[in-house]
């Protein structure tokens, strides 16, 4: 499916379009989260949150896609992960007694 077909599918609540988007962004976001101190479960959460955020933007008024859809959603996912790291890094205290 093209990005325009996927956008139309998302706007019309077509499950197949959402599944296709998930398939497109999953590998890249899993790799990004795992390469940046995350786990597979955390990556899955980021994917879900990124797709939900994109869905809310796409179905809202005045949305205009200015990049590839997968790039747009992966950007949302990367930002979500960076916010997560920033929020929780203060709670992580490394054990320097090794």
Per-residue model confidence as pLDDT tens digits over 42-81: 999 999 999 999 999 999 888 999 999 999 999 999 999 9
Q: How many helices (H) and strands (E) does the chain have?
A: 4, 0
Q: Specify whether the backbone of 38 is left (phi greater than 0), alpha (psi in -120 to 50) or beta.
A: beta
Question: Is the Cβ–Cβ distance between 82 and 33 less than 8 Å?
Answer: no
Pairwise CA distance, residues 28 & 90, whole Å: 27
Per-residue model confidence as pLDDT tens digits over 10-32: 999 999 999 999 999 999 999 99
Pairwise CA distance, residues 38 & 43, whole Å: 7
How confident is the model at residue 87, as a pLDDT? 86
Confidence of residue 34 (pLDDT cuts 50, 70, 90): very high
How confident is the model at residue 5, as a pLDDT? 94
């Amino acid at each position: 499916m093209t990005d325009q077909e996927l956008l139309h599918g998302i706007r019309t609540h077509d499950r197949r379009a959402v599944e296709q988007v998930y398939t497109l962004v999953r590998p890249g976001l899993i790799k990004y989260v795992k390469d940046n101190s995350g786990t597979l479960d955390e990556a899955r959460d980021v994917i879900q949150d990124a797709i939900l955020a994109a869905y809310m933007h796409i179905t809202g008024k005045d949305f205009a896609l200015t990049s590839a859809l997968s790039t747009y959603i992966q950007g949302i996912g990367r930002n979500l992960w960076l916010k997560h790291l920033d929020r929780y890094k203060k709670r992580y205290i490394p054990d320097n007694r090794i």
